[in-house]
Structure 1
Amino acid sequence: MSLKEILTCDVVHPISLQVSCPSHEDDGTPRCCSCGGIKPRNTKYHLLNDGRHQCLECRVSAITEADECKALFLEIQNEFDFKFQEKNILIYFVEETEILKVSKAAVGEKYLASIFTTNTKRSILFSLKRPEVTAITIPSGLPRPTTGVIMARTMMRAWLEVKCYRIRNMSLQVKIDMSQVLAHMWLEFVMNSGSDFEKKLGNFYQRRIESDSGEGFSLGRKAVLKNGLRQTLDHIAMTGSFPLV
């Protein structure tokens, strides 16, 4: 890119450091569904079945098979000693446009206590008879760090729903903040074990979590650093709040 082009373009992508014109933010130029990078001219992006575009760097790290997604679930569960029920949890690994359809299809007569669907397009299904997670839905085709963040947040929300269902006045913010804490912990793991690109993407997500989250995330993170994850969760399960730090 020439100096003249750089001087007239002032949007810098936080991961790739790609510089682009502000007009490309909303002119229909394809954007990577994973890292948000705008497609440069004469550059190929992978087109997913549901219409999303993905840059080649993200595609290399993308989790595209259900077995890979299940393995990631078990990896997070084992890394943080996070198994919270004996019954196996179904992992629905589908295209983004199919998330809602899968949620509806999985809900039969005996499954309709509540369905959580957030802006990250994931859902948790619970049984009517007891607080038990029956299924988690995860969007396919995203890089391992991204999928792991979604998975970690979802697993924490599921754990809190199962273990804290008797605490009627538990703050939703505690659930959100603790979900961010586990996602941040997962990214720490990625930073120590992933490829160079995964580390770069993980660092970006870490900074986003830290900047977007409030005091509750800070309290939760400090509690985990001081007491460990298990002791912090035990305290939340008893009180519905973070331990003092």
Structure 2
Amino acid sequence: MENTGLFLGYRRRPNYFLCNVCNTYGTINNVRMIPFWNFNYCKTHESDGTPRCNTCDRFKTTGQNEYVNLGNNQQLCSECFSTAILHPSKCKRLIENVRKFYKKLGLQVDKKIPILLIDHDEIRRIHPNEQMLNVVGLTTHPPYTVMTISKCSRKGDNVEVQKKEIKKLASGKVSSILLLFGRSEVMIGATLAHEMMHAWLALQGCNHLEKKSFRRHL
């Protein structure tokens, strides 16, 4: 019989679920689930300091390898870290693929618009708003000066980030497209495709549309 983590309990007693983090049972009122991963966890792990991957949302389980710290309370599990884009050079092929996709649709986005990797500090600086916590992409319209990621290197369980200031951004209707570093190629690609549509709409003069940023939904 397949082990679903569900314990039927005794007669007239509530069902219990196995927490994949601490391997203890809890009632449905005290356990949350991530259906995609078939992953159950006690609610207490959301506030007890248990490491949680900022890409796949899974908590560190007993016996699992240490999570990699990106700074700004951002952590990645080993699986997500193996596909994470940390260096601008890793974005070049991805950017070209998204541009080719747009070209097939008959949509041209000015290649002079810089596409840059940034961290959460820079997102909060540009938009000092608590609602920006889950933002992973931005299309900027004023000529912002941006602190972009120039290089990353891993030392143990930490990633050391080097930044550089870029002042000469595009001066037209769109000044830059900004992507949160440290996410998988799939997530950054989806973010770029989303933000590039914002850029294209702005270049077409559709500035009356509500401005939204690409967010990851928990």
TM-score normalised by structure 2 residue count: 0.60
In 2, the alpha carbon distance for the partners of 1:141 and 1:171 equals 29
The percentage of aligned residue pairs carrying the same residue is 24
In 1, the alpha carbon distance for the partners of 2:193 and 2:109 equals 16
1:166-189 deviations in Å (ceiling 9; x for gaps): xx6x443xx76xx98xx9xxxxxx
TM-align CA RMSD: 3.5
Which of 102, 114, 134 is the matching residue for 1:90? 114
Cα 1:127–1:12 shift into 2, 3 Å: closer
The equivalent of 1:47 in structure 2 is 69
Q: Is 1:30 the counterpart of 2:71 in the alignment?
A: no
Q: Which structure's residues are more often helix, by fraction?
A: 1
Cα 1:13–1:86 shift into 2, 3 Å: closer
Letter in 2 for 1:125: T
> 1:162 Cα deviation (Å)?
1.1
Q: Structure 2: which 5+ residue stretches go unaligned?
A: 8-15, 19-24, 144-169
> 1:11 Cα deviation (Å)?
2.1
In 2, the alpha carbon distance for the partners of 1:5 and 1:100 equals 38
| Rg comparison, structure with higher value | 2
Which of 121, 128, 137 is the matching residue for 1:122? 137
The count of corresponding residues between Structure 1 and Structure 2 is 164
Q: Is 1:99 the counterpart of 2:123 in the alignment?
A: yes
Letter in 1 for 2:90: E
Q: Structure 1: which 5+ residue stretches go unaligned?
A: 105-116, 184-204, 213-245
- Bigger RCO of structures 1 and 2 (CA < 8 A, at least 6 apart): 2
In 2, the alpha carbon distance for the partners of 1:52 and 1:118 equals 11
Cα 1:133–1:160 shift into 2, 3 Å: same
> 1:73 Cα deviation (Å)?
1.9
For the 8 Å contact 2:174–2:203, the answer to whether it is kept is yes
TM-score normalised by structure 1 residue count: 0.54
The equivalent of 1:79 in structure 2 is 101
For the 8 Å contact 2:115–2:179, the answer to whether it is kept is yes
In 2, the alpha carbon distance for the partners of 1:47 and 1:162 equals 37
Moved more, 120-129 or 43-52: 120-129
Which of 138, 154, 157 is the matching residue for 2:179? 138
In 1, the alpha carbon distance for the partners of 2:133 and 2:75 equals 21
